[in-house]
Structure 1
Amino acid sequence: MVAHLVRLKLTLLRNALRRSVWQVVGLVVALLYGLGALAIVVGSMAVLSVQEPDIRGLVTVLLGSVLVLGWWVVPLIAFGLDSTIDPARFVTFAIPRRSLLTGLALGGVIGVPGVVTVGAALAMAGVWWRTPAALAVGVVCSVLAVATCVIGARATTSAASTLVTGRRFREVMAGVAVLPIIVVGPVIGRVTSGTTITQDLLQQVADAVSWTPFGAVWAVPADVADGQWGLAAARFGIAVATIAVVAFVWDRALAHALVNPAHQKVSSKGRGLGWFDRLPATPLGAVTARCLTYWARDPRYALAVAVVPVLAIVLYIVSPGGGVVLLIGPIAAYLMGWGISADVAYDGTAFWTHVAAPLRGTADRLGRVIAAGVIAVPAVTVLVVASALVADQPHTIPALLGLSFGVLLTSLGGSSVLSALVVYPVQLPGENPFQTKQGASTASVVSQLVGWLAVMALCLPEMILALMSVRGGSVVLGWVTLVVGLVLGSVLLTVGVRVGGRTLDRTGPSLLSKIVAFA
């Protein structure tokens, strides 16, 4: 059964590459990037193996700990886990859970991240080639380390998906998932404030990390090389116990998910029609009300909004009172403006109501823009004003507002066009929000890259004016930036809504057919 699951993973991956050219392009780019990173690691380990003084243990523990932490945390806050073999699809099959777990774990190694991780782990084991006993132990520990990475990633995401089946936990998990990023902030802040990082300081950090689930497995070969077999046995025990614990967590979470599939709870309390009661009974009013309901109740939108204040906190910690804080407003404007680029995909099969109804594409585009603007405009305004005051540069407020609103309006216009052209698989309501749908990674990354480049190019006028105003301390130029940002952004938004509307009138049925195929 395990071999069958691995073959299934390979077959699905091969079929996905045959079906989509973009999948092939994305795989090639990811492979080149991964091989480049692996080459750097291998070369660094080769140099490290003959380095004097001997810092092999220090480097491998710190580097390996970051690798394990990345596997455990990144799927929660970024790309998610590959769902080529989704456990939910095996609910109706009588597969022993142990076989299912083993097959899914091995399947998790198949792919660019898994291959690069295996290569990096073996390279870090090979650094002990001058000590045969440490080399042998290092190879064994590298296998345990890869297992810790893969199984730990499955455990964290499975446990998180179990928690977020309740609405109240979704926002909490959004904050918990980004805590590691917030922790990085004080470290960077202390470095930039003049704290000297010495080898002794790094050694203290490595010694502490070597007793944690992230670093214990990497410290065992160093202990063997030093002849400290007691410490090696203790840390090896921590490594094995870590795998046992994360495997148990994954097993329990998977068992719960297979018996209790995720579903949306329906409240018995009468809520009325919500925004549909408050807005006009027109096509535009209906679209706006529906999208405002999404922003208020859909956890996928809640997670996106939660990133904005967290980003503000991180930038403040990185550079309290510095110029980096002033970037909070423009960055938040782009994130919230570009957030509706996946609106049609988030509609799911319910998008049929937009296609079947006598609804013009322009009304659809404008309704989504208004709903996003209701959330984004006050949020961006508050962030801009607060960042300028925190940085003690209130004279930059007009320039920052001009730049931020220009970026926001331009992003909304670009999203209106892109979402009428491209849809890709997204998580359905009630599904694991920390999992990437098959075929979604490449399309989402390409669309994000194209959107970022397009918005940057179209916002160059207000960007240049804002930079000149902030650098030169010119309030007059700041007000000019505000006018240019509002006028140019409004023009681009109008063009984006109209072009996107006409495009949606033409592509609506084909978009719906793709969404149905994804389901």
Structure 2
Amino acid sequence: MVAHFLRLKLTLLGNTLRRSVWQTVGLCFALLYALFVVGSLVIGAIVGGGMNPTVTGHVITLAGAVAVVCWWVVPVFVFGVDQTLDPQRFTTFAIPHRTLVAGLAVAGVVSVPGLATALAAGGSAFAWWREPWLVPVALLGAILGLASCVVGSRAVTTVLAPLLESRRYREVVAVVAIIPLVLIGPAIGWASEEIGAVSRETTDDGVTVSTDGSLLAAVVARFGELVAWTPFGAPWSLAAAVHDGAWGAAASRFAIAVGTIAVLWLIWSRSLAKALVTPPVGGGRGARSKGLGWFGRFPATPVGAVAARCTTYWIRDPRYAAGISIIFLMPVILWLPARSSGNLDVLLLAGPVVAWVLAFGVSNDVGYDYTAFALHVATGTSGRADRWGRALPVLVFGTAVVVLVAVLTLALSGRWDLAAPLLGICLGTLGLALGVSSVASAALVYPVPKPGESPLKSPQGAAMATMLAQTLAMLITVLLALPLVVLGIWAFASGSLLVGWVTLVVGLVEGALLLVLGIRMGARTFDRRAPELLQQVQSFP
């Protein structure tokens, strides 16, 4: 029966790939990327095991613990990632409960993350190649670690299934999940800089010398020892404990790993049994009407109607709210490298980046509309009304946000002398990027998460189309912004007040002209391709 689950999973995957060429291409790129990452990790583990097996053992423990945490936590935020074998579909089949649980557990490995984790776990065992008798111990730990990943992920999602069915929960979690994901990279970079700075000692003669990474190795060893006694790191630390001759610690960690899997299996089994008998029911009480909302604030015209609907999306749709959360985190993201380098001028990049992110947010508005775009086609909405209606909310509210971010970064860096050129670059970037997005959203449409889905979810087969469309729009934006950027750099380098004011004027004029030109070109493209756009959107998987 377990083999039947595997065949079923592979059959469903094959049917999905045959349905769309983009899904096949996306899966191939995902597999190639996963193989590259896994190969790099395995090679690093083998090389590290030959040089310093003790430190390598701690690194493997920490990396394995991070993998387990990701398997447990990510599905809570990225809901709906893999529902090819939804347990609810087996409710009417007389499948023994234990067989169902075992089949779902094994089938859970048949995915890009599952295969990547399995290969990385198995490959890391060969870090102990200098002492071959440790390789079987490491493989046993890898199997326990992989089981902890899969069973823990299933247990967490099954227990939280009733909560995950709540739309309000999904909307809040989708936005909140963006914050730690965005800050991971800057935080790691800042921590690396701090550790590197501490690991460089200054002698009495004022000469800076390196401690050869001894401090970093001590930090890794300390955290590795602590994590090894947790359910996340216990299975990955078995070989390291045996290598050190700590047989008691190895037995204790083995017991922790097995006990964790047993408890997770029990939780998953009971939660699944309950869910199959009383499945969660979505929905709930609808919110009471509170008037027309933004439709009552915009004029009763086609442009006003589209602008009101798009404004509502920007405020209430978590897919748009995720982009807004990144915008307000931008000063924090740039503050960490600026503080480490001692150059606060880096903060000034936040304004132009925020302007580009806001304007680029409407580059695939038609894709985000999904089937609701049929209303535009059925009512004969003109391209001019559609383009201006989508651009106005970003232009009005975006201008206020961009100016606010620019003023904040000027205050933090103390470079008020660069206020004029910075505002010119920010407002010019907002206008010209919004013009490019107005053309792109009528010419290039690619799959995005559907309404109600997590903004972190990437539709199968959308990777290549998304990358091509976004790269093309980005290159055009960079080329159009090049004269403005050159003026801004000149004003920054020379400190000339005249060049700064020229940059401000050029930014306002260029932004306004390219915005109007982009909306006109986008309107003509929209009028010509509206039925084709609707057909593309409705064909998205």
TM-score range, shorter chain: 0.7 to 0.9
Does residue 391 of the first structure (1) align with residue 413 of the second (2)?
A: yes
Aligned residue in 1 for 2:499: 477
Q: How does 1:457-468 map to 2 (within 5 A)?
A: 457-468=479-490
Q: How does 1:26-425 map to 2 (within 5 A)?
A: 26-52=26-52, 54-71=54-71, 82-83=81-82, 85=84, 87=86, 90=89, 94=93, 103=103, 105-152=105-152, 159=160, 162-163=163-164, 165-167=166-168, 170-171=171-172, 174-179=175-180, 181-182=182-183, 185-186=186-187, 188-193=189-194, 194-196=197-199, 197-243=215-261, 252=271, 259-263=279-283, 265-268=285-288, 270-320=289-339, 322-425=344-447
- Label 1:156 to 1:436 Cα distance change in 2 as closer, same or farther (>3 A): farther
Higher mean C-alpha displacement, 137-146 vs 475-484: 475-484
Q: CA deviation at 1:228?
A: 1.3
Secondary structure class of the residue paired with 1:85: coil
What are the superposed Cα offsets for residues 32-91 of structure 1, whole Å, 9 maximum, x if unpaired? 3333333322322232232147433123223333444455566677x8774462738838
- What one-letter code is carried by the residue in structure 2 that aligns with 1:387? T
Distance 1:481 1:438 in 2: 43
For structure 1, the residue ranges without an aligned partner over 5 or more in a row are: none
- What one-letter code is carried by the residue in structure 2 that aligns with 1:32? L
Q: CA deviation at 1:224?
A: 1.6
Aligned residue in 1 for 2:202: none
Secondary structure class of the residue paired with 2:58: helix
Contact 1:164 1:170 in 2 (8 A): no
Distance 1:369 1:490 in 2: 12
- Label 1:445 to 1:51 Cα distance change in 2 as closer, same or farther (>3 A): same
Higher mean C-alpha displacement, 95-104 vs 426-435: 95-104
Distance 1:70 1:451 in 2: 32
- Label 1:86 to 1:54 Cα distance change in 2 as closer, same or farther (>3 A): closer
- Label 1:228 to 1:471 Cα distance change in 2 as closer, same or farther (>3 A): farther
- Label 1:172 to 1:364 Cα distance change in 2 as closer, same or farther (>3 A): same
What are the superposed Cα offsets for residues 303-337 of structure 1, whole Å, 9 maximum, x if unpaired? 22122223332322343362332222222222221
Contact 2:161 2:280 in 1 (8 A): no
- Label 1:434 to 1:53 Cα distance change in 2 as closer, same or farther (>3 A): closer
- What one-letter code is carried by the residue in structure 2 that aligns with 1:188? G
Aligned residue in 1 for 2:466: 444
Distance 1:100 1:405 in 2: 58
Q: CA deviation at 1:402?
A: 2.4
Distance 1:106 1:509 in 2: 44
Distance 2:432 2:266 in 1: 48
- What one-letter code is carried by the residue in structure 2 that aligns with 1:210? A
Secondary structure class of the residue paired with 2:50: coil
Distance 2:265 2:437 in 1: 41
What are the superposed Cα offsets for residues 448-470 of structure 1, whole Å, 9 maximum, x if unpaired? 33333332233222223323333
Contact 1:427 1:435 in 2 (8 A): yes
Distance 2:416 2:488 in 1: 14
Distance 1:260 1:303 in 2: 27
Contact 2:351 2:405 in 1 (8 A): yes
- Label 1:82 to 1:173 Cα distance change in 2 as closer, same or farther (>3 A): closer
Q: CA deviation at 1:284?
A: 0.6
Distance 1:84 1:210 in 2: 33
Contact 1:84 1:438 in 2 (8 A): no
Contact 1:345 1:423 in 2 (8 A): yes
Higher mean C-alpha displacement, 99-108 vs 130-139: 99-108
Contact 2:126 2:135 in 1 (8 A): yes
Distance 1:385 1:398 in 2: 11
Higher mean C-alpha displacement, 174-183 vs 247-256: 247-256
Q: CA deviation at 1:288?
A: 0.5
Aligned residue in 2 for 1:506: 528
Q: CA deviation at 1:383?
A: 1.1
What are the superposed Cα offsets for residues 491-510 of structure 1, whole Å, 9 maximum, x if unpaired? 33223222222222222222
Between the aligned residues of both structures, percent identity stands at 40
Distance 1:506 1:2 in 2: 53
Distance 1:399 1:264 in 2: 52
- Label 1:205 to 1:416 Cα distance change in 2 as closer, same or farther (>3 A): same
Q: TM-score, normalised on structure 2?
A: 0.83
Q: CA deviation at 1:380?
A: 1.6
Q: TM-score, normalised on structure 1?
A: 0.86
